[in-house]
Amino acid sequence: MLILIVIILGASFILYALLGGADFGAGIVESFAGKREEITISRAIAPVWEANHVWLILAVVILFTGFPLVYASLSWVLHIPLMMVLLGIIMRGTAFTFRHYDVHQGRLHKYYSFLFRISSFITPVFLGMILGAMILGRISLGRSQGFYDLFIAPWLNWFCLTMGVFTACLFAYLASVFLVGETNIERERIKYAKFSKLSMIATMILGLVVFIIAEAEGHSLTGRFLHSTPSIIMLIIAALLCPMIWHFLNKEKNKTIYLRLGTGIQVAAIILGWFYIQFPVLIEVKNSAELTFYNTQAPAATLEQLFIALIIGLLLVIPGFVVLFRIFKIKKE
């Protein structure tokens, strides 16, 4: 039962990274692409951007119900970056709604665009910093320390900042690849393809920097990676997909399905590689303590009811997503 719930939790994080991450990445791409591409980007994400948050909500519900100690620890120690994530989501949604659906394109339009772009950076960066804090092992659950040591130091450091920038770059890479197939204008397609290549290279470099900074911060991420065969396999898969994706970026639009599929598998492999390094640990705590799936799980009766609720919920949600994407995305292509 526990393993099945963990699989659903992992799947929800991967889906949010692929779908919600691409939406946030679109705002990052727009920051560099300029105003001329604003119409294409808005049209691409308008039908689906709000629905994609379902997967984040699902992950939060699973943590809250199935692993309450993890949820309580994160929401207490990391309440500042969590608040920034939520503010970014709210600001971005509000700005995009007013910008895209406002009847009058007045002078406020540029402020909506500014908020949309800046909040598209805020949420991915702080999501990455939260993930970095969970990995680094500077979280303390004691109450004897000062405010800075307890609530700031675990996430405000070079490793977490690098993780935040890496996450933003990964989302921008996803978005730029997806946007290649969203435009009928050749000039825009070439621009998105070029940005995809640049963001792919930047993501690879930042991934390497994450390992280097981790060692500098005293966390042996490289050693743990080298002792995880599944993680090595996932990295090899992600690396082997790079030439294929690069090849299809130079092809015509009718190859978009292969491009998106390859990129989705690549990003999923990166996330699974990290998962295999960490499993079964959820939070690395100071003094070599760990909060794992096993020592923080809810009672068996709670997990059983949670699993039943998840199955029923997924049976209702997944068909809705299939219809949504079939109407607004698949048929469009």
Q: Where are the domains of the chain?
A: 2-330
Distance between CA atoms of residues 318 and 102, nearest Å: 31
CA 205 to chain centre: 18
Comparing 46-50, 69-73, 135-139, 213-217, the range with the smallest average pLDDT is 46-50
Q: If you count them, how many residues does the chain have?
A: 333
- Average pLDDT, whole number, for the chain? 88
Res. 255: pLDDT tops 80:
no
Mean pLDDT, range 244-269, rounded to an integer? 84
Average pLDDT over residues 188-209: 91
CA angle at residue 150 from 9 to 124, to 5 degrees?
Answer: 45
284: helix, strand or coil: strand
Distance set, CA 141 to CA 44, 63, 81, 106 (Å) = 43, 18, 17, 50
**Region 31-40 average pLDDT:** 75
Token digits for 112? 């909506």
Write 39-46 long-range contacts (CB < 8 A, 24+): 40/179, 40/182, 40/183, 40/185, 40/188, 41/179, 41/182, 42/96, 42/99, 42/100, 43/182, 44/178, 44/179, 44/182, 45/96, 46/100
pLDDT higher than threshold 80 for residue 332: no
In angstroms, the CA 276 to CA 234 distance is: 9
The CA distances from residue 269 to 2, 279, 288, 304, in Å, are: 22, 15, 28, 29
Mean of pLDDT values over 112-119:
89
Confidence at residue 326, expressed as pLDDT on a 0 to 100 scale: 79
Residue 248: partners with Cβ closer than 8 Å, 6 or more residues away = 255, 258, 259, 262
Residue 71 has pLDDT above 90, yes or no: yes
The most confident of 28-42, 177-191, 251-265, 287-301, by mean pLDDT: 287-301
- Could you report the per-residue pLDDT of 203-241, keeping only the tens digit for each? 999 999 999 999 998 888 888 899 999 999 999 999 999
**The pLDDT of residue 124:** 95
The two three-digit tokens of residue 115, written as one number: 């908020």
pLDDT at position 252: 64
* 3-class state of residue 319 by DSSP: helix
The conformational region for residue 183 under phi > 0 = left, psi -120 to 50 = alpha, else beta, is beta
For the ranges 211-215, 235-239, 261-265, 329-333, the lowest mean pLDDT is seen at 329-333
Q: Which two tokens stand for residue 25?
A: 């990445």
Three-state secondary structure call for residue 48? coil
Rounded to 5°, the CA angle 220-225-231 comes to 155
Q: Are 4 and 96 in contact (CB under 8 A)?
A: no
Q: Which two tokens stand for residue 70?
A: 């993890």
Residues 136, 77: Cα–Cα separation, whole Å: 14
pTM for the model: 0.91
Query: What share of the chain in percent tops pLDDT 90?
Result: 52
Band the pLDDT of 15: cuts 50, 70, 90.
Answer: very high
pLDDT score of 331 more than 70: no
User: What confidence category does residue 289 fall into, taking pLDDT thresholds of 50, 70 and 90?
Assistant: confident
Distances (CA, A) of 154 to 75, 79, 129, 161: 13, 11, 9, 11
Whether the upstream peptide bond of residue 299 has omega within 30° of 0, thus cis, is no
User: In the structure, what pLDDT confidence band is assigned to residue 121 with cuts at 50, 70 and 90?
Assistant: very high
Residue 126 near residue 88 (C-beta atoms within 8 A): yes
Of 312 and 321, the one with more pLDDT: 312
